[in-house]
Amino acid sequence: MATTQEPVVQPETHADVALTITPAARIEVKKFMEAESVTADKGGLRVSVQPGGCSGFKYALLIEDQSAEDDCIVDEGEFRVFVDPFSAQYLQGVTIDYVSSMQGSGFTFKNPSATGGCGCGSSFTA
């Protein structure tokens, strides 16, 4: 009697994303998660890079209830960061900060891999 074995499926591995979230940005992320009733055990912050903006790419932040199947998940201790495979290549070494000034407040991105940017600071060239 021959037996047929099921093939062993190995989970996909994704490159780690090395990014930094400043203490000021951490505080704001936790506020947004609380406001949207998203818990840190499953949900977190999605950081992505999308085509668009005046320089070619733009950053996007979104609070999500859970990660996608192919996400790279970065454990920040107080919350998790979800990064899709396309965005991961553009987010290596990025520092995400939250600044408040007389002109307004919001998240900022410092990307050592960016080769150019625009005057508004919300898009970049890689």
Q: Mind listing the pLDDT tens digit for each residue in 28-49?
A: 999 999 999 999 988 999 999 9
Instruction: Output the pLDDT for position 71.
Output: 94
Break the chain into its structural domains and give their ranges.
Answer: 20-117
* Neighbour order of strands in the sheet with 20-21: 20-21, 95-101, 104-110
pLDDT for 121 equals 53
Q: Output the pLDDT for position 12.
A: 40
Q: What's the whole-model pTM score?
A: 0.77
* Spans in the chain with pLDDT lower than 70: 1-15, 53-55, 115-126
* Radius of gyration for the alpha carbons in the chain, expressed in angstroms and rounded: 18
User: Both tokens of residue 52?
Assistant: 């668009």
19 alpha carbon, distance to own chain's centre: 8
Distance in angstroms (rounded) separating the CA atoms of residues 107 and 95 = 10
Q: What local confidence, expressed as pLDDT, does residue 5 receive?
A: 52
Q: How far is CA 105 from CA 20, 24, 43, 44, 74, in A?
A: 19, 11, 24, 21, 25
CATH class, 20-117 region: mainly beta
| Number of other residues whose CB lies within 10 A of the CB of residue 64 | 17
